[in-house]
Amino acid sequence: MTQARHALVTGAARGIGLIVAQRLLQQGCRVTLMGRNVQALEQAAQQLKPLGEVGFVAGDVGSAQNVEAAFAKARDQFGPIDILVNNAGQAVSERFDRMTQEAWHSMLSVNLTGTFHCIQAALPDMLAKRWGRIVNVASTAGLQGYAYVSAYCAAKHGVVGLTRSLALEVARKGITVNAVCPGYTETDLVRDALDNIMEKTGMTLDQARAKLAESNPQGRLVQPEEVADAVAWLCQSGAGAVNGQSIPVDGGEVMVG
């Protein structure tokens, strides 16, 4: 991968997004971190600075105006966007019959519409260069159903469908579009899920962790580094023949065939 590649990673202040940014810097990219918390982005950028050229922009992916402004600022610093990693996401657990319209729209806004906004903002740069990589961090919830997270599942299924459709549109234009679908991963989202399980069931932390790990044939939670490595590989020039795929990173929970 050449030094000239400019990668923008959303939800990049922590967790999977931060490690993806680290991996891309190690591959020689210039990286823009995007998120909503300026202080957290500043700290992340300082942490990553020894690895290469890194900057940050603040914005809410659910707002098209925010995204356009943030992407324009990123271009001012590092030039056109070659690589987009849509990692920003949020999960709320609720029984379907108790879910509010507000919660439903919030899940779609962050997880699906945010992905749409960011792709629309980055795609013209890639089309102009006839080269680009778009990687959407979806979830195994985009490949199958889970109880009590219907809005999240609906949004992530939408991300997988968007990935497949757009991949066909740009297949002959030097651009690939893929999704990485982690199972339960050791992130803040899963820590929130663990807190929810403990509160509702009285389980200990170890018991709640074991409950989530049951779905993984390896009997463990996926580590953020494992997801980031899959994302970083899809961003390389050598992954050019991989397009329209939704790759589970889940120890074998979902086998796509």
134 membership: H or E segment, kind and range: strand 132-137
Return the closest-CA partner of residue 54 out of 15, 22, 11. 22
Q: Which residue has the tokens 């795609």?
A: 123
Parallel, antiparallel, or unpaired: how do β-strands 175-182 and 54-58 relate? unpaired
Residues 6+ apart with CB under 8 A from 13: 33, 35, 37, 40, 41, 43, 44
- Can you spell out the DSSP letters for 224-255? HHHHHHHHHHHTSGGGTT--S-EEEESTTSS-
Task: Enumerate helices (H) and strands (E) in the chain, giving the number of each.
Answer: 9, 7
Q: Determine whether 146 is an active site residue.
A: no
Q: Which residue has the tokens 């690939």?
A: 176
Q: Which of 146, 148, 152, 184 is catalytic?
A: 152
| Catalytic residue numbers, as ranges | 152
